[in-house]
Structure formats: structure tokens, C-alpha cells
Amino acid sequence: MKENLARLFYPSSVAVIGASNNFGKLGYHVMKSLIKGGFNGKIYPINPKTDKVWEIKTYTSLEKIKGKVEVAIIVVPASLVPSILESCGKSGIKGVVLITAGFSEIEDEEGSKLQNQIKEIASRWSLPIIGPNTFGFVNLTHGLNATFTPEFSFLKKGKITLVSQSGGFSHLSGFMAMRERVGFSKIVGLGNRCNVDSPQMVEYLLEDPDTNVIALYIEGMDNPRTLFEIAKRSMGKKPIVAYKAGRSERSDDASKFHTGSLAGNYKIWQGALRQAGIFSVKDTEEFIDIVKVLEVSPRLKGNRIAVLSSQAGPGMIASDIIGIEGLTLARFSPVTQDTINEILPPLAIRTNPVDMGPAWYSPDAIVKILETVLMDEGVDGVLFLNMFASANINLAEGVRNYIEKMGVVKKPTIACFMAPPGIWDEEIEAMDNKKGMVFLPTPERAAKAMASLWEISQMFKAY
Amino acid sequence: MKENLARLFYPSSVAVIGASNNFGKLGYHVMKSLIKGGFNGKIYPINPKTDKVWEIKTYTSLEKIKGKVEVAIIVVPASLVPSILESCGKSGIKGVVLITAGFSEIEDEEGSKLQNQIKEIASRWSLPIIGPNTFGFVNLTHGLNATFTPEFSFLKKGKITLVSQSGGFSHLSGFMAMRERVGFSKIVGLGNRCNVDSPQMVEYLLEDPDTNVIALYIEGMDNPRTLFEIAKRSMGKKPIVAYKAGRSERSDDASKFHTGSLAGNYKIWQGALRQAGIFSVKDTEEFIDIVKVLEVSPRLKGNRIAVLSSQAGPGMIASDIIGIEGLTLARFSPVTQDTINEILPPLAIRTNPVDMGPAWYSPDAIVKILETVLMDEGVDGVLFLNMFASANINLAEGVRNYIEKMGVVKKPTIACFMAPPGIWDEEIEAMDNKKGMVFLPTPERAAKAMASLWEISQMFKAY
């Protein structure tokens, strides 16, 4: 089963059972995803009623395909699924994406029966199943979009893998990621978790060379202890971040409908996640931010942070969060302070937080301050904040030129550059996620992500 | 002074003292702001060294201008400012935007002396001064961009006025507002607050017909009691929202450099703001969100919220926040519940939060549920959450058609539609801020803004 799970994400051939030319059918969108997503392998649409789907020759059944088929994506009605799974097994298929709904998630007990039935079949054939009742998965590293959302292929390729119990959350965070330049390796919608749940996925992803950050969205789980044990065993190997929904008692009532139990134990969950070395977040933006930072940032080795801001206000806002969230404002070495004092006139505060205001129009000065502070041994991480104004329009380009020439940062460096739409976009795009630097949308989010990095560092140290 | 303050924001003629053709001078950018911002009144550039600035005939001094000049924007070096202010007074100018820095904000005590000097002159001539050491102000209602940032004219026109002690914060939130379709009447940079501070501005804005939400960014204040008294007297007339920086002791040290005192009294500030009926926020996004909602939303009369989500996960996330932040999930009336049960099959949860998943591709069904829930007397506010997927691409258009035909909502309705860049943008733009509905970027931000509305309602009720 384990080997097949790895194969499921990197197939060389995919059959779509229920492929369709009809926009109203999910089989239409799945085909579009595969084709527009640029899948390099072989695609076999299966549809007994038409010759071609999306210009590709169809087959009436799996058995009719001469070549080897490694993965099947199934979008036919639930009642047909058991027999199709049997033929998947017989045809040597290694894994299945079961998009079809109408299993254990429905009120009717027929649904649960059907899910038990397919679980038994899958187990007999060692067939890992993503789903049922899922949008599928996208593996950007492999150019494979096995979902009903072709737009997932717009995502930037990266090293983060999201494993989610909610399609809505996956779409929400995927689209946010597009706007905020966050790169994913895979997004996997677990659906009803027939035989692939978060523990199996984490175990696999810990070994997946294309994943360096594991991101989980969890509503409930039948056997969370397995997850905690796997995470604990591998503590620190790869960061694991979890958004656990079901924080309030009232939403618990709602979640019972989906997961049967668990959501009410939010506090117990929090303790267990922490003990397992899984970093817990409470907000989609916080989630997106910390996985983005973890993807490229070096480890934060201490909590002494420098705040460099080309305007006083955003520097103060960031310093507020530093003071509240367990970080401290670094005290610069005499050498650093002297250099800053040479660059900046005594018009503004030159100790930490540094108000770079008097030099805001000068990329050279701003970059020199950044460079100096990054070399200070008393500084563990840097927040680098620059808001656009017409007079400093060249700042982003100047910083970009510097960053393109410099080596990878040895300390976490989180930037916030805010400008009107269309201005600085290109420069920010060119700098973001490069050289270990990450750009976030507000000073608060930048500072909070730094605080999260520190919490993660401490969590790993504790074991 | 009060009358002149009103005149300052709505002049028919403006002189720019220090207007320039040189990109490196702020006088260049100020001229660009006035011209590109589409100011309808007369512009008089003053520069003794050149005939024309930005193609407009220059004058050597204020006295040489034949027509009436109502407002002067000053960008010449600090040492020249006292004599210029005298001539402003003599020329009958009603108000001044003093962009020049080098007054009380600098370490050198010359700066404070100079500021006292201009304060005395201004007082003698009843001249309200915005600044010194400010980016200026923009009045979108009047087409007047009196700042060194021409891009402020890209802002959507609206009914929110931001009064800020930080230029950096004003730029940050202004640019965020552009991205998130938040409309401003005015953004005012107070700078060193020579004789116009938050209290004077709030007093003026309470009477300003173009402002219905007052937004304050505060670092410190010499006499905050005046502000609290003004706000308390007018409790509930217009909502006032404040972002008070200086939350941590460490950032306090930094802020002393600017404001002399105060930041350390954060808790005292919080209590005083609340008693004065000023809603306090702790984050730039929270700030932008709540002023956006307050601008068009009806008052939230109770805390019973309906969560309608076309995907279960985002509905659960929003319900979590409802449970935590003092709101409750509304219990639908039998009529409402029956109607929902007719529309949705028993595949998903149909009580609150409503998982509209089974009808997600059907705008008619989604809109019918929204309509029904809005009419339920047991519902005080609605969260309306819809994430894009390829199969529901027509949803935004369908909802838009409905919203364009419907009347103004009688209950706060906050939506979150998330899609890849370029998809649904037009529809969201067409719906946002219309008919009393507001769109926010995440389910969490939507739910938190609803909770803020409830806190504001209760605060007003308490007096």
C-alpha cells in the first residue's frame, strides 16, 4: 500500500473513468485539468457513449486499454464504484482518485455501507484511494492536476504539500497562495478518507523529496494518535503545520455531521499537536504565511529581531508584535550601530527599530543597513519593511538588484513591501522566495510569522 | 480656526510653495498629485527660479498672485517656513499643508523652537496647519490630492476618513484599500500636529457630510482626554475606529522618540477608548475590514448569525470564530428551515451553518437560500461564503444578477468569494459595497468583522 501511495502521486499514465465533454459533469473538468495542467504521461478517457473526449480517443472500459494504466480517476455515480474498483484491481492499477460523492458523508446509511464495501475491495487489491467525496489532488512537481479544478495548475511550483480534509479550504488557500506567491508541491483533498488519511500522508511526505513543509487542515480524525506518533518519531525532520478546525463548541455540533467526534476536544488536540512537534495555527492567512516562510527560510536560532523600516509607523507596529509574541528587539553591536549612524542622520530613531525614513529614497543606503544588520551576531532575524511613495519608487528595483547579487540569507528575513497594484509587483515577484527571503503583505503578518518561526524552533529544541 | 479647517479640505484654489520640475524634490510629486489627481480648482505653483512647473505658470511669491488663494502646500526647507507662514496669513490663506520636515521630530532642539514659532504665527492668523512633517492629505470627494503621493488618487471614493499619525501606515492601508476595494473620503497625515490633532479632526469630521466612518491611527497624544470627550459627546453619531500603536513596552521605548510619552499606557488607552465609544483594533487588516463594513452595512441588532457556505470547511472555520467571539449561530425558523430543506438534499448539513455544497453549481439555489435566511426574523446577520471551482464558475455572475436587482440588505451581510486572480474579479467588484453587502478576503476576516460589528453595537447601547 505504501509503495502504491508513492506511485499514485507520480504516475506515467492515468485513466479517467467517467470522462465527459459535458461542462455540467465533473468528468469534463477533470479532463480539462489533466490536459491544461500539462500532464506529460498518457491519458485514457473512459466513456462508453462517445468516441472522443477533449479530442482524445475514449475506451469503453479499463479492460480495453492495451497500455499500462497506473492511476484511475473515478467520477461515475457511487453505485457503480465497487465494480469499477474491482476492475481497477484486476487491471493492475496502483492507486485511485475517487471524486464521486455519496458515501459515508450522506445521511442515508447506504452511504456508509458502500464506503465499507469499497474499503474492503481496496484493501484486497492494496489500492490506496484518495477520497471518496474529494476534488482530487494536484502534484505540481509532476505536472499532474488530478482534480476537477483546472485552475490549480496556475499555482506556483514549490516544496509545500497541503493535505486537507476540506475541499473548500483547499480552494481558498490555493487561490490565496496564487495571490501571495506561495509555491506548492502537492495539494491533496482527503475527502472521506477511505484508506488514506493524514497519518498515511504524513508518513509518505516525510520521505517525499519534493516536499519540505507538510501542511495539514484537519476537522476530525478516527485515530489521531497514529498521526501524533508518526510526527513525534520524525520530530524536526520536516516542519509540520496544522490548522485544526472545530475550535468552538457550536461548530463542534456542525462538525459531528462530518466527522463523528473529536472537534470538541480542541484543547486536547492542541496539547497533543504541540507534543508531537506539529505547529498549530488558527487562521488561513497565518497558515499560508508560516508555510511560505518555512519553505525557504533558515531556522530562527534565537529571538533577537531587528526591525528595519523605511517609515516609522510600520516599524512600530511590527515592534508591538515582537514585544507581545515572545520575541525581543535585538541590541545592535557597536560596529552595526556606528555603520547605521553613518548612513542615517540623527533625524530619526537609529537604534532598533530603525527608522530608515531619512534614507527612504536611497536604495543603496537601505540595502547597506540591511546588509550590516544581517551580519550582526546579536541579530537572529530581520523584518524589512518598505512602503511605496512616489519619491521612493526606485527602492524596490534597487533592493532587487542587491538581492539578485547577494548570497542566500543565513538568518530568517521577512519583508513587507506594499505598493499600489501594478507598481513594484514585478520587483516583489522577483525577490520573493529567493535567497531565503520571504515577502508578506502586512507588517503584522511579517512579525507574526517571525514569532511562529521562533515557536517552531523552540518546539523542536524541546525534544 | 474651525471654519478654516473645513475650508482647508475643500479649497477652490491651491498654491504650492516650492513647486518643482525636479523628480528628486517633493515639490515635483505634490504638483503631480494635484494635476493627475484631477483637482478642479486653480493651482498656483510658486518657484522664483523657473517660469513654469508642470506646464503651469509659476509665481515668485504668494503676494504676486492676483487671484484668491485659499490653501498653501509648503515644501520648502524648514528655516524658510516662518516667514512664508506670515505671508500666508497676510495673503488671506485659510489653511496650510506643511509637508516640510525638520521641526519637533528632530533631535536638535532647533526643531522644537521652530515648531513653537510656527504655532504662534498660525495661531495669530487662525491658520490650521496639517503637519509639519507629513505627506499631506487627499480628499477624494473633492478631487484634491494634496500629498506627495500621486497614487493616492487611485483610491476608490467613499465615506471613510482616515486620520493618521503615521505616513507609513497611511500608505500601507491606502494601498491595501486599493486592493480590497475600500472607499475613502479623505486620508489625512497629521505629521507633528502643530495645531491640528486627532481631537480637532474628529470634531470636524463628525460634522463633515462626506464622512460616515472615522478611522484613527494613533501613536501618542498630548491631551487624549479632549478626544475622548468629543467622542463620548457624540456617541453613536458616526462610528469611530482607532488603531492605537505602542502595545508593547519595548515599542514604547521606540515611540518615546516620536511622541514623548503615552505609548506605555496602552491598557489605560484601551479602557478610555472603549468608554468613549471608540472601537479599538490591533491589526491593519482588522482596521481596513471593519471600516469597510461600517461604511455601508446596517447596524447589527443582535448576535444571531447565519453561516451560508457553498463548501463545508469555510463554513466551519467561520462558525469557529462565531463561537469564540461572542456571536451565536442563529436557529432558523421552521419556514426558513423548510425552504432550505426543499432546496438542498439531505446530503449535507442544512441547519446553521448551512453547507450549500449540493447546490454549489446553482446560483438560483444559492441565492434563494440567501434570500430566505435574510428574511428570517431570528437571524441578525449573514456570512455568505463561496469558493470558486471550475464547476461553479457561473456562481458569481448569478449572485451578481440577483444582487443588482434586490433592494438594500436590512441586516449586515458579509461575503467571502475567493477565486484565482482574474476569475470572478469583475463580479466581485460589481457586488462589493453595493446594497449594503461587503466582501472580505477570508472566512475568518468576514466572521471577525461581524463580531466587531456586534461589539460596536453593544458599545453604543451601553450609553
Q: What is the DSSP string of A312-333?
A: HHHHHHHHHHHHHTT-EEPPPP
**Are residues B284 and A320, on separate chains, in Cβ contact within 8 Å?**
no
The residue assigned the cell 500601507 is B172
pLDDT at residue A260, as a whole number = 47
Confidence of residue B422 (pLDDT cuts 50, 70, 90): very high
**Are residues B313 and A108, on separate chains, in Cβ contact within 8 Å?**
no
Mean of per-residue pLDDT scores for chain B: 94
Q: pLDDT tens digit string along A216-228? A: 999 988 889 999 9
CA-based angle A353:A358:A360, to the nearest 5?
A: 85
**Are residues A443 and B284, on separate chains, in Cβ contact within 8 Å?**
yes
Residues in A 26-55 with any Cβ partner in B closer than 8 A: 26, 29, 32-33
Rounded Cα distance between B66 and B79, Å, is 26
The residue assigned the cell 502586512 is A442
Q: pLDDT tens digit string along B115-145? A: 999 999 999 999 999 999 999 999 999 999 9
Confidence check: pLDDT of B250 > 70: no
Q: pLDDT tens digit string along A439-450? A: 999 999 999 999
pLDDT at residue B257, as a whole number = 53
* Cβ–Cβ under 8 Å, residues A315 and A353: yes
Q: What ipTM was reported for this prediction? A: 0.96
Rounded Cα distance between A293 and A306, Å, is 17
Q: What is the mean pLDDT of residues B218-246?
A: 93
* Cβ–Cβ under 8 Å, residues A47 and A106: no
Confidence check: pLDDT of B355 > 50: yes
* Cβ–Cβ under 8 Å, residues B181 and A424: no
Q: Which amino acid is at A229?
A: E
* Cβ–Cβ under 8 Å, residues B214 and B152: no
* Cβ–Cβ under 8 Å, residues B319 and A250: yes
- Tell me the Cα Rg of chain B: 25
For residue A106, what are the CA distances in angstroms to A115, A444, B202, B218, B350?
A: 11, 42, 55, 52, 12
**Are residues B443 and A329, on separate chains, in Cβ contact within 8 Å?**
no
Rounded Cα distance between B178 and B170, Å, is 12
Whether the CB of B22 is below 8 Å from some CB of chain A: the reply is no
Q: pLDDT tens digit string along B67-96? A: 999 999 999 999 999 999 999 999 999 999
Comparing CA positions, the residue from A398, A386, A400 lying closest to residue A431 is A400
Per-residue cell: B207:
460634522
Q: pLDDT tens digit string along A259-290? A: 544 455 788 899 999 999 999 999 999 999 99
Q: Dihedral of the CA atoms B101, B107, B111, B113 (nearest 10)? A: 160
Whether the CB of A24 is below 8 Å from some CB of chain B: the reply is yes
Q: Which amino acid is at A337?
A: Q
Q: Which amino acid is at B370?
A: L
pLDDT at residue B462, as a whole number = 67
Confidence check: pLDDT of B44 > 90: yes
Q: What is the mean pLDDT of residues A102-128?
A: 94
* Cβ–Cβ under 8 Å, residues A136 and A99: yes
Q: pLDDT tens digit string along B320-350? A: 999 999 999 999 999 999 999 999 987 778 9
Whether the CB of B142 is below 8 Å from some CB of chain A: the reply is no
Per-residue cell: B351:
441547519
Rounded Cα distance between B99 and B75, Å, is 5
Whether the CB of B251 is below 8 Å from some CB of chain A: the reply is yes
Q: What is the mean pLDDT of residues B390-418?
A: 96
Sign of CA dihedral B211, B212, B213, B214: positive
pLDDT at residue B260, as a whole number = 47
Whether the CB of B199 is below 8 Å from some CB of chain A: the reply is no
Rounded Cα distance between A106 and A171, Å, is 22
Q: Percent of chain A, pLDDT > 90?
A: 89
Q: Can you point out the beta strands (E) in A272-409?
A: 278-281, 304-309, 328-329, 354-355, 381-387
Q: What is the DSSP string of B64-110?
A: G--S---EEEE-S-GGGHHHHHHHHHHTT--EEEE----STTSSSHH
The bridge status of strand B156-164 relative to strand B144-147 is unpaired
Contacts of A329 in chain B (CB under 8 A): 250-251, 254
Confidence of residue A360 (pLDDT cuts 50, 70, 90): confident
**CB neighbours of A69 closer than 8 A, spacing ≥ 6?**
A13, A14, A15, A44, A62, A91, A92, A93
Sign of CA dihedral A54, A173, B291, B141: negative
For residue A388, what are the CA distances in angstroms to A431, B144, B187?
A: 16, 20, 16
Higher pLDDT, B151 or B249: B151
Whether the CB of A317 is below 8 Å from some CB of chain B: the reply is yes
Mutation target vs A (from B36, B108, B280, B317; most A CBs, 10 A cutoff): B317
Phi/psi at B69 (5° precision): -115, 125
Q: Which amino acid is at A187?
A: I
**Are residues B172 and A284, on separate chains, in Cβ contact within 8 Å?**
no
Comparing CA positions, the residue from B353, B237, B214 lying closest to residue B287 is B214
CB-closest option in B255, B314, B322 to A248: B322
Confidence check: pLDDT of A106 > 90: no
Q: What is the mean pLDDT of residues A371-378?
A: 98
Sequence-distant contacts of B178-181: CB under 8 A, at least 24 apart? B178/A420, B178/A421, B178/B154, B179/A421, B180/B288, B180/B292, B180/B440, B180/B441, B181/B156, B181/B292, B181/B428, B181/B429, B181/B432, B181/B433, B181/B439
Whether the CB of B169 is below 8 Å from some CB of chain A: the reply is yes
* Cβ–Cβ under 8 Å, residues A102 and A77: yes
Q: pLDDT tens digit string along A40-84? A: 999 999 999 999 999 999 999 999 999 999 999 999 999 999 999
Confidence check: pLDDT of A315 > 70: yes
Instruction: Tell me, letter by letter, the H, E, C secondary structure of B256-282.
Output: HHHHCCCHHHHHHHHHHHHHCCEEEEC
Confidence of residue A251 (pLDDT cuts 50, 70, 90): low
Q: What is the mean pLDDT of residues B30-36?
A: 98
**CB neighbours of B55 closer than 8 A, spacing ≥ 6?**
none
Q: How near does any CA of chain A get to the CA of B125, in Å? A: 29
**Are residues B387 and A349, on separate chains, in Cβ contact within 8 Å?**
no
**Are residues B389 and A421, on separate chains, in Cβ contact within 8 Å?**
no
pLDDT at residue A236, as a whole number = 85
Rounded Cα distance between B374 and B330, Å, is 12
